[in-house]
Structure 1
Amino acid sequence: MNTAKNNRGPGEASSDLVASTSNNNEHKIDNIENDMKRAAARKLIERYFYQLTEGCGNPTCSNKNCASSGELKPMTPNDAAGHALQLFKEDARLCERHPSKIARTQSNKLDNDLIKNTNGTINTVPLSNSVSEDSEQLNKSVKPNHASVPSFLTEQTLYEIIDECEANDSYSPLIRTLGEIFSSIENLSKSFLEESSTASNTPNLESTESFKGLKKEEVRYLEGEKDKDEDSSADSSKNKLLPVDLSSLRRAYAALFKLKATIFENALVNALVTLAGNLQMELPMRREKDSYDDILNVLLIVFEIPSLGSGDFLETALPAICRASQSLPVEVQASLATAWSGRGRGAIRNILENLQQLITLRVIVTPFHRDFCVQDENVVTSATKLMKILYYANMLAGVLESPTLRNIDDMNDSIDESFLMVKLNKAITPQDPLATHLGVHILDCRKPFLPFSDFYNELLSDTVEMDRDFANFKSELGIFSGKFSFMNYPFILTPATKTMGLYFDNRIRMYSERRISILQAVTGQPSNPYLRLKVRRDNIIDDALVELEMISMENPNDLKKQLVVEFEGEQGIDEGGVSKEFFQLVVEEIFNPDYAMFTLQSETQTVWFNPTSFESTAQFTLIGIVLGLAIYNNIILAVNFPMVLYRKLMGRRGSFEDLQDWNPVLYNSLKQMLEYNDPDIDDVFTQTFRISYQDVFGSVIHYDLKERGDKIIVTQENKYEFVDLYADFLLNKSVEKQFKAFYKGFQMVVDESPLEQLFRPEEIELLICGSKNFDFDELENSTEYDGGYTSESQIIKDFWSVVHSFSMEDKQKLLQFTTGSDRVPIGGLSRLKLVIAKNGPDSDRLPTAHTCFNVLLLPEYSSKEKLKDRLIKAINYSKGFGML
């Protein structure tokens, strides 16, 4: 041995010594870590025990697991010990500001530590003197030495700092601690972690007597260790931080913010600003393989701060954090969204409100102009980017359906070539990287955690100059210029504002088609810069559909030209008003029961495809074109489809939940079947896998959902399969031919539009059908006057008095008379911009209107009674364009 040592060089001997020492140290460290975990577990169990037996001292305590609440029955020490262990496993609530408890000595009333044995019975295990001494040492050590600030915070440590500050009437230790912890990524990321990771500052407890009698699984649970089959993977991630204990964090914040804000607010705000600066420097330096667990923990802790949306936090700290967060990689964004959608879902509303307040504040105080618009305001844009993470968290926290319902590839089976070309030529909607990473889509969300409308910011929507935003949107899609566009974050814009973005996109495409037509004329080719339809009122369907069919067959791109309608034998020039009436008349005819292309659902008064219609698929294609043209030309239609149609138009198959607004009676009966859990379901419902429905002649048609369906009884085991197959048949298979043709026509018009990117199905319904809010006070407030009239003119006062006294039917007729449509546009009647102009002195003439420009020409009638009489006659006999 000596010879061997002498033959080695100094470096080798030194290496052996270092290796040996290192191995010994690692072994000791592992033992120390395990003992620390046991100590922390024991300490928490003791706290639960004293909470159950003695309470927290708060006479108004609401914690049902606290003796001070008055809800607990007196417990024996044995019962309390067993219940304390159960509360520990459940991570139950601990009362705030609970005084620190230490293990009792022999003179204490508790002489035994009670733990379940392997048989599940309660055994008493005496506490040794060494355990008592170590427990006392533990409790002394966790009290911070304020001469040196702790390197991280726990709930208990914060309580003790606050207690000491209050006792000494000096809050310097608290201020120093908040400043040190909340300004450092490293310190804050290690704070408020799950309990098994917060014991790194507790001493080694050599005795493990208190864990005698525990089951093997319970010991592992208390130590925070994984099963043996997971040990190898655990070794490879020793440096991985455990997640934040959000329950503990919220209790700690509640205790902190019970203090006067003036005590610590400035210190915390300044620390957060420093933290944000550190994040901005740190994030760009991280490489792909680097861990971001510390960043994730930091953001989770920061956004739980209760007052983040008020005072200096709102004006200084939150903007800084938002700016720093906009550099987060997609993977970290996804992790943050997942965390907020899980244990952190309770904070979603508060975080959203804070971000909305920040955006609103910045919009109010910033003087925007053409050279500096809202898209250039970094705080607004960074907060919007952060809100997108919350938007997806809100979906994940809600009710999601299977993404397989998004797959509509089966529509491509046996479809005609022209439809396939429409699908292939359709501009691919860019996928959001975050949505792709999370594997979620807006269509998957049946019910979000918070309503989607909570994400609208109306003030921002009214401030955004959509022409500029649309230019940024197209630029960003083209060459990734880096210009910010809210159209890439449509969840924050109201439907009315998004409609303007869609309008710009449609108009630009119309002008592009017009320029192409003009260039063709220069080269001697026939030129037609508009989509012209000439129809007869008494034969409007045949005329319109024949012309549209010819156009769609010869050159489908002509459908993207601006629509111009001419009624044969009438003088009206279409500046928009004639088209409105054209669409209204076409819709009235198409959905007429005599055509039998659609059926009326009596319960909901909605229309649906007739599965037994004799009309050709070409007819349904042309109806789809009409619907697309209405959107493309910014015209509202009086149609009443169920919501499932708009979901299907956006690429999602109908499912059981869609039956709720399609046929509520059927939905409720099927739901009763699903909720029925008794074994006699086959006798109660007597249902097989064969269903029946009627054709247009009232004849009953049978359909087997499965082969030999009439022989298969619906049971508890197959009832969910039955319901899914039933809904799939009603909403998909039975109308597959009709909907496929309808979808083809619709896509011929809107295939290049950002419609799907901007709007959810509910918003598309609003886009097509308009709002249902007939608020004529809004219309009065937004109306302008011309020709000598003002809002103070007596006839104007009389006019509004008469209008407000109208029935809803007459109000709709007035809208039809003045605007060409009886529907309310998205955003309400204030969006109509009605103009009432003077049309001469008192006379017997009826009022007239320029529906293309929403102008009402009103003579200055001599009395209110005469005004009402002439107005009622005008709105009831207003069809035709012979007078204008």
Structure 2
Amino acid sequence: MEVRRARCLKDSIAMFAGKGHTVWRQPLKVSFLGEAGMDSGGVTREWFSTLSSAISRGSPELFCPAGPQRNQLYINPLSSTPPHLRKFQFVGLFMAKAILESSARGKELGPITLNLPLCEPLWKLLLGCPLNLMDLQLLDPTEFRSLMSILDMDIDGLIFETFAWNFHHASAAPGQAPPLSSSCAGFSVTNHNKREYVLLKAHKMLVGTIEAQMTAIIDAFHTIIPRELLDKYAFTSLELQLLVCGEQRVDVQDLKRHCKYEDGYNGKEDVIAWFWDVVEGFDDAHRRHLLQFWSGSDGQPAEGFGALDPAFHIVAVERLYDPADTTARLPAAHTCFRQLDLPRYRSAEEVKEKIVTAITLGQGYMALS
């Protein structure tokens, strides 16, 4: 499969369109149009990372910011047209393929991880778990506090709000609301029924406006990963998120502890010390960019870096391509082998400058197998 990096989502959807679900179970080989690199596993890993980033950052019609820091994703309630639903089906298949590909690769290639920071309630829905009021706090803390304040106040005698919703959900729909004893259309909120109102409104915010979209994801996902398999291993929502996306924080000490050195480095050189000082000074976003550049995937494995074979390793190369050069070369990466070619830089400042430049360029082009 060949895709354009800048059009990764569009090209990938087109490649799989009309081919049925069985193609998602077949081995995958990927190349980026116009880029060098044989796919020995690293390019495929990079395709998963690049495509998941395109979904999470470049598809506002599908997902919108959510969570306390607005750095997670929830389904856009306005994305219920047939073209949108087909894209959500693709997302479900893609997530399942990442799990399938990880299980087939073994230690020599390591797991696939996606840059898809979905809000926890979506992971619960994917597992078929019911949602509760506390899930709204994870999605929108402001709305959660607003609803909780209703439970604490005396609203009898107030012209508060009138229900005007015709509540409906399929009996097997995920995250279904608590049973209601009567129709909820057209009655005023009182102290007697305010709990019912709060639960219904929370359900509408969490699920009621995204049922079609979530059903598209769930049905597609389970055509590749049967629900019975997830039930067998009794995954929690956090465990499923860790399986698909890896650890969101990058443990630099774990990476440093399991990194190997070859071809002229033994780990005791000044340039190696400067390198780790730079990495430790990065925030998590820059650390993930470094992992992306170095390995083709920006996630830390759930089992830690020690579970990978081959391990991340650093190889010594000369500072200049040619003695006549006046500018030091950039680091280079071989993603299939998790190999970083680190020139023998002369200062900590030079290390930082070159690493930052390399990973910035590498987000768009440079990582090769």
Counting only pairs closer than 5 Å after superposition, residues 76-95 of structure 1 correspond to structure 2 as none
Change (3 A) 1:882 1:806: closer
1:721 aligns with 2:199: no
Within the candidate set 48, 57, 61, 1:596 is matched to: 61
Counting only pairs closer than 5 Å after superposition, residues 335-734 of structure 1 correspond to structure 2 as 533-552=1-20, 556-592=21-57, 595-601=60-66, 603-605=68-70, 606-613=72-79, 614=81, 615-634=83-102, 635-676=112-153, 678=154, 680-681=155-156, 683=158, 686-690=160-164, 709=185, 711-734=186-209
For the 8 Å contact 1:682–1:714, the answer to whether it is kept is: no
For the 8 Å contact 2:296–2:367, the answer to whether it is kept is: no
d(CA) in 1 for partners of 2:331, 2:65: 37
d(CA) in 1 for partners of 2:63, 2:319: 50
1:778 aligns with 2:254: yes
Change (3 A) 1:682 1:742: farther
Change (3 A) 1:539 1:792: closer
The alpha carbon displacement at 1:629 in A equals 1.6
d(CA) in 2 for partners of 1:602, 1:752: 27
The alpha carbon displacement at 1:708 in A equals 7.2
Within the candidate set 212, 216, 234, 1:741 is matched to: 216
Change (3 A) 1:565 1:729: same
For the 8 Å contact 1:559–1:748, the answer to whether it is kept is: no
d(CA) in 2 for partners of 1:809, 1:739: 28
d(CA) in 2 for partners of 1:660, 1:882: 39
Within the candidate set 219, 223, 245, 1:769 is matched to: 245
Which structure is higher in helix share? 1
Counting only pairs closer than 5 Å after superposition, residues 128-143 of structure 1 correspond to structure 2 as none
Within the candidate set 835, 841, 856, 2:313 is matched to: 835
SS state at 1:665 partner: helix
Match for residue 280 of structure 1? Answer: none
SS state at 1:857 partner: strand
For the 8 Å contact 2:262–2:316, the answer to whether it is kept is: yes
Match for residue 168 of structure 2? Answer: none
The alpha carbon displacement at 1:650 in A equals 0.9
Matched residue pairs, number?
Answer: 333
For the pair shown, the structure with the greater C-alpha radius of gyration is 1
The alpha carbon displacement at 1:592 in A equals 4.4
RMSD (Å) for aligned C-alpha atoms: 2.8
Change (3 A) 1:547 1:883: closer
Match for residue 107 of structure 2? Answer: none
d(CA) in 1 for partners of 2:68, 2:284: 22
Aligned-partner residue type, residue 361 of structure 2: Y
For the 8 Å contact 1:565–1:578, the answer to whether it is kept is: yes
Q: Unaligned regions of 5+ residues in structure 2, if any? A: 103-111, 166-179, 322-327
1:853 aligns with 2:337: yes
d(CA) in 1 for partners of 2:342, 2:188: 69
Change (3 A) 1:644 1:865: closer
Aligned-partner residue type, residue 662 of structure 1: L
The alpha carbon displacement at 1:593 in A equals 6.4
Deviations 1:693-741 (A, max 9, x none): xxxxxxxxxxxx98673x3111122122222322332333321211111
d(CA) in 1 for partners of 2:209, 2:124: 17
SS state at 1:836 partner: strand
The alpha carbon displacement at 1:660 in A equals 1.8
SS state at 1:632 partner: helix
d(CA) in 2 for partners of 1:591, 1:863: 37
SS state at 1:689 partner: coil
SS state at 2:44 partner: helix
For the 8 Å contact 2:56–2:115, the answer to whether it is kept is: no
SS state at 2:17 partner: helix
Match for residue 170 of structure 2? Answer: none
SS state at 2:340 partner: strand
Output the TM-score relative to the length of structure 1: 0.35
d(CA) in 2 for partners of 1:653, 1:580: 33
Counting only pairs closer than 5 Å after superposition, residues 275-314 of structure 1 correspond to structure 2 as none
Aligned-partner residue type, residue 258 of structure 2: S
User: Identity, % of aligned pairs?
Assistant: 30
The alpha carbon displacement at 1:574 in A equals 2.1
Deviations 1:538-597 (A, max 9, x none): 332222112223222xxx233122322121222222233222332333233333466512
Change (3 A) 1:806 1:562: same
SS state at 1:729 partner: helix
Match for residue 325 of structure 2? Answer: none
Aligned-partner residue type, residue 350 of structure 2: K
SS state at 1:690 partner: coil
Change (3 A) 1:681 1:820: farther
Change (3 A) 1:708 1:809: closer
Counting only pairs closer than 5 Å after superposition, residues 2-401 of structure 1 correspond to structure 2 as none
The alpha carbon displacement at 1:784 in A equals 1.0
For the 8 Å contact 1:842–1:861, the answer to whether it is kept is: no
1:755 aligns with 2:240: no
d(CA) in 2 for partners of 1:681, 1:851: 65
The alpha carbon displacement at 1:664 in A equals 1.6
Match for residue 281 of structure 2? Answer: 805
SS state at 1:714 partner: coil
Output the TM-score relative to the length of structure 2: 0.80
SS state at 1:640 partner: coil
The alpha carbon displacement at 1:880 in A equals 2.4
The alpha carbon displacement at 1:858 in A equals 1.7
SS state at 1:767 partner: helix
Deviations 1:182-218 (A, max 9, x none): xxxxxxxxxxxxxxxxxxxxxxxxxxxxxxxxxxxxx
Aligned-partner residue type, residue 630 of structure 1: A
For the 8 Å contact 2:62–2:75, the answer to whether it is kept is: yes
The alpha carbon displacement at 1:807 in A equals 4.4
SS state at 2:24 partner: helix
SS state at 1:546 partner: helix
For the 8 Å contact 1:659–1:666, the answer to whether it is kept is: yes
The alpha carbon displacement at 1:881 in A equals 5.2
Deviations 1:10-44 (A, max 9, x none): xxxxxxxxxxxxxxxxxxxxxxxxxxxxxxxxxxx
d(CA) in 2 for partners of 1:557, 1:864: 51
Match for residue 438 of structure 1? Answer: none
Aligned-partner residue type, residue 779 of structure 1: L
For the 8 Å contact 2:147–2:198, the answer to whether it is kept is: yes
